[in-house]
Structure 1
């Protein structure tokens, strides 16, 4: 009688995972192979040893279905003694190995589940079967079962780094983001050089769990590995905007533009908008002006408005007013005339303010009473009291401006009583 029986260990092999193919994931398959491992279970009868060795020979020559059928039959008829139950577990392991070679991962996983529920099997062996079952559940597309098994496995032992990444990917595929984050944290604690796919997974999980700073740092790490993908630059810039660092987003985009990775009209517009958001609007205005002049950017109303907003944000009074004047004359739209008037009003450029509000009102602009009020103020500030009075009288006819118009009219009457005030 042998006190121990050496069984064929189920060795890791690479294979595709259909359920995660869209995510570019390959999965190790642990069943099948020739490496032997010591299984320190109860003593087996000579008959059990002979039968197990016979099934191993059948497995090695490719009689997989025969091994499945025979091993399952012998497992079902095993006695209740400790040695018999240990033999039953080993029969189930062999059946699982054969089922896996038949490309039946779900069936193989079910057989390993039966094997690991046999208490007679050593704990170390049952943990190994748990790991193998988890991988097979993934291969079979049974992700919820796989996720639960991975969690249990991680709680009982220390999975390899690649298995930690796989655990994170499974939970992410199930949109179990908090659990995915836990696995990502475990993986990154032990893996200082994750590959591009692993970094992409980490970035996705960080975004889904609201950890945008961590996500942005991961995306930058991806750029350090490979900066040729424009989508990564876009993702990094968007993340910095999300966490309230528009300046950093603008600098990152500028770097991608200068390297020739980000290019084209849309990238140029994004570049300008990021500079505007990142407190460098003059830079945005300069690049927009140049692009419009050399034809790199289509000379459209929208692009001209963007240029005008950039100069206004840069507080370049002359260029901003010139730009809005050009836009308003080009489009002759109430909104554009209003923008000219409002900007000039804020800077005390009263002639252009009056013109802008008057033209906006003539083009049917919203809130005509308020437009009249501001037009009247602009006329008043230029010392043209008669013109201002006429405008305020018109404004008094509108409910939302009547009170203020009355106050301005009273002010004009008072001014006229002052001998040094022009009328």
Structure 2
């Protein structure tokens, strides 16, 4: 008889335990009397346990609104004793569970906020509620509150790697880049093999936080995982340009091109421009010329100018001047003739300098007085003093070139008088 009674009592207690654990509440927290662990909440009365179990059954039966209303009512009427306050916290948790199942994350978060504010509840349980509240705030779109809760949670507990990445994402969505950088640093310390989404998040945070070297490393790690996305190659090249490594950007783009991932006219032009910026302009000039000859690149004035610019950067005088001559004759544009004249002037190729400046004036280029001065110098350097005089006299008519033109005319007069003196 006594043994049968003991068995029924054990079964009853196990039934209560099973139901309570289904609510996510541990044995140490809820069993009263001598079974309670040191960290558990105060022992609950049998009436409180029965009421909590009853609400739990209503919850699993899908009576969510009823659970919210009843649990909140009982929480509001709870006494001041520690056991009553512990029961109050559990009622609020049940109400939060019901609100969450009704897809009311903000309401559920508010209820958990009240529950974790009850000091009688064990610290470990309040930390669990803080975690749940933080994620509910996020689901409800309450990003500022979610970020603050994540920061508090991270300062008091050891978070999983996934939660660290989530913290980084929240701060990134709020454009709080320094905080996001802190979280992504913690996440990467705990995760040696982040997935592609996490790497993309890290790259974005590093860029926004001004950590461009770290961002480029992450983007290259993305390429190691999957090199089939052209956008990643573009992002990596742009980052190398931003941190002042154009040669590395050009090499990376070249690798993507050779693998057939970067292709098309736009990618070819970027490839050429990166080579020009990265110190290999001859490579750019050659690839552009080949593409034009094969019909892979539209034979336009703009593309021909790019070829000429590339040759000019190589310091190959002959090819550069030939390219600019061809462009100027093709477009007959004042600026193109000026570029030919300016390049030839700098290299002391006086006949082409004269032609370029004269044609630029003829086509209506700006600053005709200055163009006349440079044209006159080019003529003078070829030894055509009479012609140079005529050009400088025209330059005297413009305010911005009159003084210098006068000085050149004086120099030519001196040269002529010297030539006329008997030897």
Same-fold call, TM cutoff 0.5:
yes
Q: Does 1:294 align with 2:306?
A: no
Name the structure where helix makes up a greater proportion of residues.
2
TM-score scaled by length of structure 1? 0.90
Q: Aligned pair in 2 of structure 1 residues 253, 144: CA closer, same or farther (>3 Å)?
A: same
Distance in 2 of aligned mates of 1:9 and 1:330: 87
Alignment-derived partner of residue 202 in structure 1: 202
Which residue of the partner structure matches residue 172 of structure 1? 172
Per-residue deviation at 1:345? Answer: 0.8
- Cα distance in 1 for partners of 2:57, 2:212 equals 55
- 2:347 alignment counterpart: 347
Q: Which structure 2 residues correspond to residues 14-413 of structure 1 after superposition, within 5 A?
A: 36=26, 38-39=28-29, 40-413=40-413
- Greater shift, 412-421 or 163-172, is seen at 412-421
Provide the rounded CA distance (Å) in 2 between the counterparts of 1:418 and 1:278.
Answer: 51
Is contact 1:7-1:38 (8 Å) kept? Answer: no
Q: Which moved more, 1:350-359 or 1:101-110?
A: 101-110
CA distance in 2 between counterparts of 1:211 and 1:172 reads 14
* 3-state secondary structure, aligned to 1:417: helix
Contact map agreement 1:8 1:36 (CA 8 A) in 2? no
- Partner Cα separation in structure 2 for residue 35 and residue 77 of structure 1: 22
- Offset, 1:188: 1.4
Q: Per-residue deviation at 1:313?
A: 0.7
Does the 8 Å CA contact 1:168/1:184 hold for their aligned counterparts?
A: yes
CA offsets per residue over residues 66-98 of structure 1, 9 Å max, x none? Answer: 322222222122111100110111111111112
- C-alpha separation in 1, matches of 2:320 and 2:305: 10
Query: Would you say the 8 A contact 1:373–1:392 is kept in 2?
Result: yes
CA offset at residue 322 of structure 1? 0.8
Task: Please report how far the alpha carbon of residue 7 of structure 1 lies from its aligned counterpart in structure 2 after TM superposition.
Answer: 8.2
Residue range with higher mean Cα deviation, 95-104 or 292-301 = 95-104
What per-residue deviation string (whole Å, max 9, x for no partner) do you get for residues 296-320 of structure 1? 1101111111110000011111111
Partner of 2:32: none
Moved more, 273-282 or 199-208: 199-208
Return 5+ residue gaps in structure 1 as ranges.
Answer: 11-31
1:41-90 Cα deviation digits (max 9, x unpaired): 00111111111122223323333333222222221221111001101111
Deviates more, 1:63-72 or 1:176-185: 63-72
Relative to structure 1, the CA distance from residue 395 to residue 198 in structure 2 (aligned partners, 3 Å threshold; closer, same or farther) is same
CA contact (8 A) 1:8 1:34 kept: no
RMSD between aligned residues: 2.0
Contact 1:6/1:38 (8 A) holds in 2: no
Mapped partners of 1:280, 1:269: distance in 2:
14
* Alpha-carbon distance, 1:160 to partner: 1.1
Deviation at 1:206, TM superposition (A): 1.3
Q: Distance in 2 between matches of 1:242 and 1:9?
A: 58
Correspondence for 1:23: none
